[in-house]
Structure 1
Amino acid sequence: MRPEPEVATWSSCTASSPSARAFEAARVSHDRASAQGENLRAELLDLVGLTADEIDIVFMPSGTDAEYIPLAFLIGEDSTRIANILVAEGELGANTSLAAGARHCASTSPSSGESIVKGAAIAGFPQGSVTLHPVRIRDEGGALRDDDALATEITMLVSAALGRGERVLLHVVESSKTGVQVPSVELVESLVAASSDRVRVVVDAAQGRLGDRELRDYLARGFMVIFSASKFYGGPCFSGAVLFPRTTWGAPRGPWPAGLQHYLSRCAVPPRWEMDAWIETPTNAGLLLRWAAGLAEMRAYRQVRPLVRRSILVALGAAIADAASRFPSIELLDAPWRGPGHPDDDGLSVMQTIFTFKLRSGGQHLGLADVRRLRERMAEPCVFDEPAERALGARRFLLGQAVELSPSAAALRIAISAPHVTEHARFAHDEAARTRKLREVSDELNALFGKLDLLVRTSPS
């Protein structure tokens, strides 16, 4: 609505056109919101050692929604079909496959709040323009597949798509739900080099479990990177972003699919895109507030020296492994070796920070339904008969969501986060306080696994 001074307005019992004063106040608020988006982009780039003259950022409601951005870029380039190779399907966000297939991944629009049909094709993507090719990283027994077998499957999918005259969007997963990085950068680079610019790469780093050095390296290779201020950094949920180098991706061409209105707001896209006339929603205030909160956690984490961060990550990881080993119902999964990392950084890209474990009862691994139920019970008080058990049952623990490893086995996860590190860093220069704090964490972890073990042993089979 705009001011209509030529109209005599006596309709305030229903609604009125805004006055010039009210409209100006709204305009100023909009300009401030746009500026806030720019400030948040600038701070994020500064924190990871990048600049706005080389990297663009789009803020998205989540890492899942961020899947639409590379697809929209490719749709704007030409009409050739896109083969979207989604690596680690099943260990990504629950609705990632929908978004990667150009389908709505929610039932409510994050931008406008209106209802949408989850799973429906997004308006504006030509029918059949995106074909999804999921790649699983575990075999039917739940074990990680051999690297060579995965590389062979991915190479065959890329070759077949190129042979059909399609373009390829290839996913690199920097950290799956269980902390796996796949495929190797060497394999991806070889596929890109042999493709005559028909293969583009997007890195799913929505877990945030990579160092600044690795993030910059991905972007320097021309890869688009999906990132988040939640997950590792402990910021609020639904704070996604896409970072990409201008030299490789440029600016969006042509009209974007109209259905992406449900996920984009003007303040979330770079001003140089000049999308004001196309994007109806001017501001997603909640998204900006969530990113402001997330950046506060990122900033606090980086105020701790890298080698101190590394030592804390090592100590916390050892405490988790030790606590898990004390209980026979807990079976901690081995983490893939990712090398030592650079000696002068915190090792976040190579260090295990997600700990995945199966639960065993009566000699059998528990399935998905049982594991989900146990996770819910861990978050609520539980009543037991024995006094020691009552104290343990009263405690509440939030664990990572269940992951289905195979049709017969599922796993739960716990993870180290940036707030854990910054909290421990307060005692970095006081050995006694540091030892005392680590003992408190060990006691908490023993209680966590102790309650879980107790629930496994006492729950009906």
Structure 2
Amino acid sequence: MPELPSSSELLVAGGDERIRPLAGQRCNKYGISPGPATASVEFSSSTASHISADAFAAVESLRARLCNAPGEAAMHALYQQEFSRIRSGFFELCGLQQAEHAGTGWIVAESGTDAHFSAVRLAALRFRQPFRIVMPEFIETGRAVCDTLRKPNGVDGATVADIVEVRLRNADGSLRSIGEIDRDFHTAALVALAQDIPVLLIRADESKTGCRAPSADLLHMLVKAAPERVAVLIDACQLRISRGSLRGYLVNNYMVALTASKFFAAPSFCGALMVPPAWRAGLEEITRADACSQPSPNPGLLARWEAGLHTMQQYFAIPAALRQLLIARFGQAVHAAIQACPGFDLLARSAGVAANANTQDADAGDVNAATLFAFRVRRVAPSRHLTSLEMEQAYRTLQQSRHANGSSYLLGQPVACGSQDFQRTQCLRISLSATMVIELSRLPPEEAVTWLDQQVMTCLQTLKAIVDQQSS
């Protein structure tokens, strides 16, 4: 019988130091421990959340099945069977069992960054020459993505020709217009094509601060003009898109990078790349190459995906109207709390929605609604935005404090946003998770919305008090 670590240890296995508990502590650098938590109110799904008790029970059942395998070889076979089950469950949940999606594949990835790299490998196989990546700026997608996209992609040792970043925000953090963003994407793509350089376009849906760009119309226009020379990757690693949008992207032959570790609150390092049927030849080539390298199974990744799928199934079992009510109320609660906290400035969150008919939502109540909001914090007198160090201190203090009601509050970690006074300033993120929606759905609706209003307000007012204390 194979030996496996405990379920808590399994949930951080096969990741990196970011998800393992810090030395001598229960939590990792995100303030998350490898197990359920009962005393924290978590608006931190833009970064990381604790696993729910229900999802943890599903992981324990999975671990028991793996431990009951009669030997290592049997456990390896069972590992593959369990991932096939998770894939089938995810595809069924997203409506990808329909004939038009036959042949859709996925490449399991340890993270959203690794899913991006798989997309680069596929693009390299398609283009068979160096190509240009045009994408939103790295501060909106993840700094690790930059280094990963520039790695050799395994096709004749070639690398990406170059990467063009397009700014989504102005220097003051305000959102650029979708017209301006589209213009920069369009220009970069046309310059590359004029030089006989193929292009991989990356659309954020949505970015770290809630942006969706470039527009779906621009993607459609560029692909239609040069279908053999332009490919598209959708960065949906927050997985705050509807199932209808996911299906629409795949119908348009766009690859989609996603994770189950943000909105659906699985532990970090739980990603996948969705591959449309038109990319099957490249997918098969990558699969053969990876099979030859004989990578060892990653039970930790399997456990994290088990947690993610379990949460997805619970979430989509909630009546659509109730999901929509709770998501809308969260947005209202955030706006009310921001207005009640002088010095907190909400950032505009979306430069463009899915404009192409094929990417519109087909599921009633399953909408691309706002579940992530970014905001900046400034001192009122004298008026200035918090420095990066001050923002980090306020974020950590909130995370480590316990409010009078017995709860601790978690927000998404600070991220760079625009530039002010010749330096990058930071913003924090407050976001809703599927886990919180599931928990609220078990309450009477009136009680659920009251709780949501109170907790969002308490969280931000507590942060405000911390900032004011730092200023004194």
Same fold (TM over 0.5): yes
What is the alpha-carbon root mean square deviation over aligned residues?
2.5
Q: 1:80-126 CA distances to partner (integer Å, 9 max, x unpaired)?
A: 11101122431112311112222xxxxxxxxxxxxxxxxxx577663
Q: 1:349-392 CA distances to partner (integer Å, 9 max, x unpaired)?
A: 1x21111111120211223222122111111127xxxxxxx837
Identify the residue that residue 315 of structure 1 maps to in structure 2: 329
Tell me the CA shift for residue 403 of structure 1.
2.0
SS of 1:75's equivalent in the other structure is helix
Tell me the CA shift for residue 452 of structure 1.
0.8
**Distance 1:309-1:277 versus aligned 2 partners, 3 A rule:** closer
Is the 8 Å Cα contact of residues 261 and 267 (structure 2) preserved in structure 1?
yes
Is the 8 Å Cα contact of residues 85 and 132 (structure 1) preserved in structure 2?
yes
Kindly report which structure 2 residues correspond to 1:74-223, keeping only aligned pairs within 5 A, or say none: 74-102=123-151, 126-223=157-254
**Distance 1:339-1:174 versus aligned 2 partners, 3 A rule:** closer
Kindly report which structure 2 residues correspond to 1:51-450, keeping only aligned pairs within 5 A, or say none: 51=97, 53-102=102-151, 126-252=157-283, 273-275=287-289, 277-336=291-350, 345-349=364-368, 351-361=369-379, 362=381, 363-381=383-401, 391=404, 395-408=407-420, 409-427=425-443, 433-450=444-461
Identify the residue that residue 94 of structure 2 maps to in structure 1: 48
The aligned amino acid for 1:164 is: Q
Is the 8 Å Cα contact of residues 209 and 348 (structure 1) preserved in structure 2?
no
Q: 1:145-175 CA distances to partner (integer Å, 9 max, x unpaired)?
A: 1222211111111111111211111001110
Is the 8 Å Cα contact of residues 333 and 457 (structure 2) preserved in structure 1?
no
Q: Which moved more, 1:51-60 or 1:173-182?
A: 51-60
Tell me the CA shift for residue 305 of structure 1.
1.6
- Distance (Å, rounded) in 2 between the aligned partners of 1:209 and 1:171: 16
- Distance (Å, rounded) in 1 between the aligned partners of 2:290 and 2:471: 58
The aligned amino acid for 1:244 is: V
The aligned amino acid for 1:296 is: H
Is the 8 Å Cα contact of residues 265 and 433 (structure 2) preserved in structure 1?
yes
Structure with bigger RCO (C-alpha 8 Å, 6+ apart): 2
- Distance (Å, rounded) in 2 between the aligned partners of 1:50 and 1:202: 18
Tell me the CA shift for residue 311 of structure 1.
1.1
**Distance 1:412-1:239 versus aligned 2 partners, 3 A rule:** same
SS of 2:300's equivalent in the other structure is helix
SS of 1:398's equivalent in the other structure is strand
- Distance (Å, rounded) in 1 between the aligned partners of 2:268 and 2:86: 17
Tell me the CA shift for residue 421 of structure 1.
1.3
Q: 1:293-332 CA distances to partner (integer Å, 9 max, x unpaired)?
A: 0000000011012122111111122122212221112222
Is the 8 Å Cα contact of residues 88 and 173 (structure 1) preserved in structure 2?
no
Tell me the CA shift for residue 208 of structure 1.
0.6
Percent of pairs identical after alignment?
Answer: 25
- Distance (Å, rounded) in 2 between the aligned partners of 1:337 and 1:79: 33
The aligned amino acid for 1:443 is: Q
Tell me the CA shift for residue 456 of structure 1.
1.1
**Distance 1:235-1:196 versus aligned 2 partners, 3 A rule:** closer
Length-normalised TM-score, structure 1: 0.79
Tell me the CA shift for residue 337 of structure 1.
7.4
The aligned amino acid for 2:370 is: Q
The aligned amino acid for 2:430 is: I
The aligned amino acid for 1:64 is: T
Tell me the CA shift for residue 440 of structure 1.
2.6
Any unmatched runs of 5+ in structure 1?
Answer: 1-22, 103-120, 257-272, 383-389, 428-432
- Distance (Å, rounded) in 2 between the aligned partners of 1:437 and 1:252: 45
- Distance (Å, rounded) in 2 between the aligned partners of 1:276 and 1:170: 25
Is the 8 Å Cα contact of residues 173 and 347 (structure 2) preserved in structure 1?
no
Q: Which moved more, 1:448-457 or 1:365-374?
A: 365-374
Tell me the CA shift for residue 44 of structure 1.
0.7
- Distance (Å, rounded) in 2 between the aligned partners of 1:228 and 1:160: 32
SS of 2:323's equivalent in the other structure is helix
Q: Which moved more, 1:64-73 or 1:296-305?
A: 64-73
The aligned amino acid for 2:394 is: L
SS of 1:302's equivalent in the other structure is helix
Tell me the CA shift for residue 283 of structure 1.
0.8
Is the 8 Å Cα contact of residues 344 and 375 (structure 2) preserved in structure 1?
yes
